[in-house]
C-alpha cells in the first residue's frame, strides 16, 4: 500500500513508519518538525534498509498538502500530527485548537477532494476523562479534562460526522493508553523537548543523570500502593496495531474507536522498580502531592482490538524498560546527541 503519514518523524510515527517500510509499504511522511527531528526518519531508513519520503511541511498548508496527495496518491493515511502536551494545552488552548483541529480539518478536506477515504487516527484514552471503571471499554462515556483532550474528542466527532455525510469512509480511531518504550535497536525512541511531562521519559532521563530525581505525584490513591496506575503500551506493539488496522480498514464502516492497551496496569512505584532493574541502578525519587487532573487508574479493556484488528500487545513492562533504557543510554541527549 501507499501510506501517507502525518507526523511521521515523531515518537510513534517513526516506529510505525519503520514497521510499514519493513512490511513492504511505500510511505510519505509530512511533518513540520515542531516536536521532532529529521534524524529519526534517517535512522528508520537505516533500520529498514529503505527510505520513506520525508517532506517537511505543515498539515495546515492546504495547497502543499493537496499537491502531496495528488503526486503520491495514497491508499490510506495515518494521522499522527498534532500537539500533545496537556499542561501546555491549558496555557495555549488556541494553539492546540489551531494545530490539531484546523490541521485535521485541512487533512480531511484534502482527503475528500482526492477521494482517499481510508484513515487511521491517533486518538487517546484521554477521551474517557476521569474513568468511572477499569478496565475501560470503548463505550465508556467520553469527556475532556483539558484543551488537548478536547481536541481528541472533537476530532473523533469530526470523523464520525464526515463518515456519516457520504458513503465509503473507513476510519479507525485508535485510542492509545500510555505509549512508552523504544525500538529494540536503541536507534529510535522518544525525544521530548524540554522537561518531560510523562513518567517514563522522566524516569529514564533521571536514570541517565539528566534529572536529579523523579517526582512521584500522589501516594494516597485507592490503588494497591497508593500511586497512580496506568496501562503502559510498548511503542513497537502500538506500531504493529496500526499496520493491523490498515490491513483491516475495509471492515471499518464509517468511524469506529478501538482501545490500544495491554489490559494490565502498573503503579508509578512499580514502573520505578522495573526501570531501576533495567538500568542496573537505583533511580532517586521523591514523594509529592497529587498532580491536578490525574485519575487514580486508567487501564484498557483490550478485547475489541483483538477481535477487530487481530492484535494484542506482546511486550510487558520488563521489555518496555529494557528497550527504553537502551535508547536513553545510547542517546543521552536524544537525537541531538
Ligand atoms: P510527537 O510529538 O512525537 O509526534 C507528533 C509529530 O507531529 C511530531 O513529529 C510533530 O513535529 C508533528 N506535527 C505536529 N503538528 C504538526 C503539523 N501541524 N503539521 C505537520 N506536522 C506536525 O507525538 P507522538 O507521541 O508520536 O504522538 C503522535 C500522536 O499520538 C499525536 O496525535 C498524539 O496526540 C497521539 N497520542 C500520543 C500519546 C502519547 O502519550 N505519546 C498518547 C495518546 C495519543
Ligand atoms: C503516568 C502516571 C502520574 C509524571 C498522559 C496524557 C494522556 C496521554 C498519555 C496523550 C500518573 C505519574 C507522571 C511524573 C509521576 N497522552 N507521574 N511523575 O497522565 O496517564 O497520560 O500521557 O494522549 O492524554 O494525560 O501519563 O506519563 O504523565 O503519568 O508520578 O513526573 O505517572 O501522576 O499516575 P498520563 P503520564
Look up residue 291 and give its DSSP letter. P
Summary mean pLDDT of the chain: 97
Given a cut of 70, whether residue 190 has pLDDT beyond it is yes
Tell me the per-residue pLDDT of 142-188, one tens digit each, with 9 for 90 and over. 999 999 999 999 999 999 999 999 999 999 999 999 999 999 999 99
Residues 7-20 have a mean pLDDT of: 98
Pick from 5, 16, 82, 123 the residue to mutate for probing ligand 1's pocket: most ligand atoms within 8 Å of its CB.
Answer: 82
Mean pLDDT of 27-51: 98
Kindly state whether residue 89 falls inside one of the protein's structural domains.
yes
Confidence of residue 211 (pLDDT cuts 50, 70, 90): very high
Is 96 among the residues known to form the active site? no
Q: Whose CA is nearest to atom 35 of ligand 1?
A: 122
CA distances from 335 to 192, 214, 259 (A): 10, 22, 30
240 domain residue, yes or no: yes
In a domain, 239, yes or no: yes
Q: What is the CATH number of the domain that holds 13?
A: 3.40.50.720
Could you list the residue range(s) of the whole structural domain that residue 251 is in? 2-181+232-262
Question: Does ligand 2 lie within 6 Å of residue 230's CB atom?
Answer: yes
The pLDDT value given to residue 204? 98
Q: Could you tell me if the CB of 232 is within 6 A of ligand 2?
A: no
Q: How many CB atoms within 10 Å of residue 262? A: 24
- pLDDT of 337: 55
Task: Return d(Cα 318, Cα 324) in angstroms, integer.
Answer: 10
pLDDT at 263: 98
Number of domains the chain contains = 1
Q: With 80 as the cut, is the pLDDT of residue 58 above it?
A: yes
> Does the C-beta of 128 come closer than 6 Å to ligand 1?
no
Residue pair 197/85 in contact (Cβ under 8 Å)? The answer is: yes
Q: 10 Å Cβ neighbour count for 71?
A: 10
Does some domain include residue 169? yes
Q: What percentage of residues in the chain have a pLDDT greater than 90?
A: 99
Q: What average pLDDT does the segment 203-230 reach?
A: 98
Nearest to 313 by CA among 257, 236, 199: 236
Backbone angles phi, psi at 69, to 5 degrees: -65, -40
| pLDDT surpassing 70 at residue 92 | yes
Q: What is the pTM of this model?
A: 0.99
Q: Is residue 216 one of the residues assigned to a domain?
A: no
Domain-located, residue 9: yes
H or E segment at 44? helix 39-48
Amino acid at each position: 500500500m501507499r501510506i501517507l503519514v502525518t507526523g511521521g518523524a515523531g515518537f510513534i510515527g517513526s516506529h510505525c513508519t519503520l514497521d510499514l517500510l519493513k512490511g513492504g509499504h511505500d510511505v510519505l511522511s509530512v511533518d513540520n518538525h515542531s516536536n521532532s527531528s529529521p534524524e529519526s526518519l534517517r535512522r528508520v531508513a537505516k533500520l529498514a534498509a529503505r527510505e520513506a519520503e520525508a517532506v517537511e511541511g505543515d498539515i495546515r498548508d492546504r495547497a502543499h498538502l493537496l499537491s502531496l496527495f495528488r503526486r503520491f496518491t495514497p491508499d490510506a493515511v495515518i494521522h499522527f500530527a498534532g500537539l500533545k502536551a496537556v499542561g501546555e494545552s491549558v496555557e495555549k488552548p488556541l494553539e492546540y485548537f489551531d494545530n490539531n483541529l484546523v490541521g485535521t480539518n485541512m487533512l480531511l478536506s484534502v482527503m475528500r477532494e482526492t477521494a482517499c477515504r481510508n484513515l487511521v487516527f491517533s486518538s487517546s484514552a484521554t477521551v474517557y476523562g476521569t474513568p468511572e471503571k477499569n478496565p475501560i471499554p470503548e463505550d465508556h462515556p467520553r469527556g475532556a479534562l483539558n484543551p488537548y483532550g478536547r481536541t481528541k474528542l472533537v476530532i473523533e466527532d469530526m470523523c464520525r460526522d464526515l463518515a456519516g455525510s457520504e458513503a465509503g469512509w473507513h476510519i479507525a480511531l485508535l485510542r492509545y493508553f500510555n505509549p512508552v518504550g523504544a525500538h529494540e535497536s536503541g536507534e529510535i525512541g522518544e525525544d521530548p523537548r524540554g522537561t518531560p511531562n510523562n513518567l517514563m521519559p522522566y524516569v529514564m532521563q533521571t536514570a541517565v543523570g539528566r534529572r536529579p530525581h523523579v517526582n512521584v505525584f500522589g501516594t494516597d490513591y485507592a490503588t494497591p500502593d497508593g500511586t497512580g496506575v496506568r496501562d503502559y503500551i510498548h511503542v513497537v506493539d502500538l506500531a504493529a496495531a496500526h499496520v493491523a488496522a490498515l490491513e483491516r480498514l475495509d471492515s471499518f464502516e464509517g468511524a469506529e474507536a478501538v482501545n490500544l492497551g495491554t489490559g494490565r496496569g502498573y503503579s508509578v512505584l512499580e514502573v520505578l522498580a522495573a526501570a531501576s532493574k533495567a538500568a542496573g541502578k537505583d533511580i532517586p525519587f521523591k514523594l509529592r502531592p497529587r498532580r491536578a487532573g490525574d485519575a487514580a487508574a486508567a487501564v484498557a479493556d483490550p478485547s475489541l482490538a483483538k477481535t477487530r484488528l487481530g492484535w494484542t500487545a506482546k511486550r510487558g513492562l520488563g521489555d518496555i524498560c529494557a528497550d527504553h533504557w537502551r535508547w536513553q543510554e545510547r542517546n543521552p541527549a536524544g537525537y541531538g546527541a
